Structure 1
Amino acid sequence: MVDLLSAAAATGATPPFWIQILPFVGMGLIFWFLIIRPQMKRQKEHQEKIGGLKKGDKVVTAGGLVGKIVKVDEHYADVELAQGVKVKAVKSTIGDIIPPGGAAAND
């Protein structure tokens, strides 16, 4: 019986290293194409939107406030929420730009 176990152990060689690492490489590729790459694409599109902000654009902030851009500089945008109510927002916190003709909550 002992001879059979030692003979089975001697013939069962371990697979090469590249075959052992193949499942991890496969999981990495799956994560890249299903999670990381789409997120990078959305982030790039958002940066392009924010870079194109101009006076008069209607926007929605990440906090859900809807307003119109009054002034834009490098890092900040002045947003008019209502007549006479202006706030200064960090440009990166602007969630979306409402296209012309889009309905806003307070119009």
Structure 2
Amino acid sequence: MGTDWPDFTLFAQGDAGQGAVKVEPGAEPTINAEQPPFWIYVVPLALTFGIFYFLFILPEKKKAQEKEDLLGNLKKNDKVVTIGGVYGVVASVNKDGEDVLIKIDEDKDVKMRVTKTSIARVITGKDETKDADKTA
């Protein structure tokens, strides 16, 4: 009995001419296949990031910019709704600070001080008619 091992040929892909692995006794196997180009890995990753950006990041940026514009243009006598659902009219806006004084009840002169960021939206002419229809 000899210690000679037979030569093994493993076929990783199809026929013996492509991707064949030749294993010699005592040697590391080598593969004669080429690596795919780098862009094969980069293109799907870039497409995934692009889709993610246009579906999630861009709309959120737009909403944040609209909210910033809304709070920056807030002025006296604007009708607003807070994030808590309180309707009121802006009595004064503190330009230096971050607070707004809202008049809640005209008859009893009830006012409430809230932060600018707690203003959810400014009610325009269209919104007033929608709100009046809901309460009627």
Q: Which has the larger radius of gyration?
A: 2
Counterpart check, 1:8 vs 2:19? yes
Q: CA RMSD in A?
A: 2.4
Aligned residues: 106
Calculate percent identity across the aligned residue pairs. Answer: 33
Match of 2:50 in 1: 29
TM-score with structure 2 setting the length: 0.67
- Distance of 1:56 and 1:35 partners within structure 2: 35
- Distance of 2:80 and 2:105 partners within structure 1: 13
Q: Select the residue among 43, 61, 65 that pairs with 1:44.
A: 65
- Distance of 1:45 and 1:100 partners within structure 2: 19
Work out which structure has the larger RCO, using CA pairs closer than 8 Å and 6 or more positions apart in sequence.
1
Q: Which runs of 5+ in 2 are unaligned?
A: 1-7, 13-17, 21-30
- Distance of 2:125 and 2:93 partners within structure 1: 18
Q: Which runs of 5+ in 1 are unaligned?
A: none
Amino acid at match of 1:93: S
2:45 counterpart SS class: helix
